[in-house]
Structure 1
């Protein structure tokens, strides 16, 4: 029994330490110390683990319960980034300009692994949301039989919107694979905000005129992990108690995660640098490929508000692919704005949910 108790005590202490390290992850760049990023990724799971440990020791009436309790109290300020219980549905002022914003990684409209007809639902949702600004990632027509009609219908539906397309900004730079902005409002300037990763992951901006104000709208796609079929199979093996994946496969996954953390940190630093000198207030949307307890999210957000934290409800998972689900898609905005009616919608041609909200601009 003494051995069992020693193991339980050790696990309790390690869980508390892991949770505490996860809460520090947003403040340390993976370029400087990458292991901390893994603790940030695991934060919600470690919080739940500490809660279960707390309950266990409380039932046993042991003082060790205070170890888990202390760790949870110290780190609980991160919880609203994962769970929300107050969905704000109406703006606090009726004098504001209301702007409907949609952000969506379309996964090339299902070009790679389409599994059923959701095109009608997609356009019905857009009709319901009536977006004024649409920020898209992985919105490139690869010419398949399924996605071609969807692109045609989309461009026809929003033919009067002003646009920014990463691929159209430069004929010499490698493709942006569909990082786009569509705006009901006039665009007076546009361009790249950062080009740290010369491949499919980059950031564009559009300066749009809303009433008498000019607002900088940003659409970003931070570095993807680029898991392949073999990696996803390894995840399945990890979840199967009867199978154990080979060590080198697990190491390969950790290696991909490590370098993706570091690449996103470079992008985040550049985006923050550009946002600090922006001549206008900002609405920023995109696929960060990282959780709310990450350096990338914390750095880019700065003092901006997170629309999910402002008006979301419940647990918002936006990635719904084959690996553990996280909130990795965001709509951020200037702190002087107010967002409400945050929503997510699942389309089965994408491994991301479409997110939307309404932003009140005073």
Structure 2
């Protein structure tokens, strides 16, 4: 009987170790360039699965055989970097008085606002939050929505710029501070873009605010709908396997397009090294991804540095992941970064962070 118990314990321990190995390989997969290895580019999406399994092992060992808990604990220590990237834990700190409040929000073309006679939840929310700098992705191109938006936000912000790619979704910035220059960051894209807005911030300093909307996942509405149905088990096995391959191929193709876009933005940041920079936007990629890692290698990820939990910012069709980000140069100290899931007027939640300018 004891031999059987020992064998079972060794078997479970082996499964725990295998889980840790997978967790580490996936956790550090954000170093792989999707251009060279597109099919490996999105395995970071599975990181929370293996993290959860390892935590499950931890509770199991604590109940069954406490000394074996060293295995999942060692796994968490070895995977500290990707674990912190995916779901950071920080001591809550209140933002110092005078900090800059920055918001990034993919507003989904204000598509849930269908009539000028109806209230607009997004505009109501912005007016309540009153960020000093508001960055928007998938902004409106024209029509009555754009007129109403500019009219209302014009009462809060003296300065704004809209950058509109041909055939794509505009990005926009609204600022309490003068915008003295705009640089378009060039890269290949059918409908997405990045721009750097030079703001004259208090004290006569110039801060470059980079707004990004990187290549989308390439999944159609029908793909997303079928993915959700697949998770629910509403699609037959053979069809589900075919659908999985199709979705994975599309995700891989989009990642291979997105990586050079992130490289172009990172190169722009590197060319302006030593200058005050705030970077925001919809990365359309998970926290464990080449895109986030590449930009975090040249800037501080404000969410990782000051937030808590996974911070899910995209919440449609069973794709629940943090794809919206705020980053900053070493000139700034981030405080209380958070994703606000209290407003559901878009397929994204807004991400907000307070930034204190460091003393020279």
Q: Using structure 1 for the length normalisation, give the TM-score.
A: 0.84
Task: Say which of 202, 221, 242 aligns to 2:193.
Answer: 202
1:40-119 equivalent positions in 2, closer than 5 A: 40-61=44-65, 66-81=70-85, 82-91=87-96, 98-110=99-111, 119=119
Task: Measure how far apart 1:273 and its partner are.
Answer: 1.0
1:181-196 equivalent positions in 2, closer than 5 A: 181-196=173-188
Preserved CA contact (<8 Å) 2:34 2:256? yes
Q: Name the counterpart of 2:347.
A: 351
Q: Name the counterpart of 1:222.
A: 214
Q: Name the counterpart of 2:319.
A: 324
Preserved CA contact (<8 Å) 2:122 2:345? no
Q: Which moved more, 1:133-142 or 1:287-296?
A: 133-142
Task: Measure how far apart 1:302 and its partner are.
Answer: 1.9
Preserved CA contact (<8 Å) 1:194 1:203? yes
Task: Measure how far apart 1:312 and its partner are.
Answer: 2.3
What stretches of structure 2 of length at least 5 have no aligned partner? Answer: none
1:284-299 equivalent positions in 2, closer than 5 A: 284-299=279-294
Determine the C-alpha separation between the residues in 2 that align with 1:201 and 1:230. Answer: 21
Deviations along 1:67-125, one digit per CA (max 9) or x if unpaired, are 4333221002333332434332122xx6xx532211100011126x979x994443332
SS, match of residue 252 in structure 1: helix
1:161-172 equivalent positions in 2, closer than 5 A: 161-167=158-164
Task: Say which of 294, 308, 311 aligns to 2:306.
Answer: 311
What stretches of structure 1 of length at least 5 have no aligned partner? Answer: 168-172
Q: CA RMSD in A?
A: 2.9
In the alignment of these two chains, the number of paired residues is: 345
Q: Which moved more, 1:185-194 or 1:118-127?
A: 118-127
Q: Name the counterpart of 1:339.
A: 334
Task: Measure how far apart 1:318 and its partner are.
Answer: 0.7
Task: Say which of 19, 22, 27 aligns to 1:23.
Answer: 27
Deviations along 1:189-224, one digit per CA (max 9) or x if unpaired, are 102123222x22211111111121011111001111
Determine the C-alpha separation between the residues in 2 that align with 1:5 and 1:243. Answer: 37
Determine the C-alpha separation between the residues in 2 that align with 1:347 and 1:340. Answer: 21
Preserved CA contact (<8 Å) 1:217 1:284? yes
Q: Name the counterpart of 1:170.
A: none
Determine the C-alpha separation between the residues in 2 that align with 1:99 and 1:83. Answer: 22
Determine the C-alpha separation between the residues in 2 that align with 1:51 and 1:114. Answer: 45
Q: Name the counterpart of 2:169.
A: 177
Determine the C-alpha separation between the residues in 2 that align with 1:235 and 1:291. Answer: 17
Deviations along 1:216-271, one digit per CA (max 9) or x if unpaired, are 11100111113223322332233224643512211110001111221121111111
Distance 1:38 1:14, change over 3 A: farther
Q: Which moved more, 1:244-253 or 1:206-215?
A: 244-253
SS, match of residue 65 in structure 2: coil
Distance 1:135 1:242, change over 3 A: closer
Determine the C-alpha separation between the residues in 2 that align with 1:87 and 1:62. Answer: 31
Determine the C-alpha separation between the residues in 2 that align with 1:142 and 1:18. Answer: 48
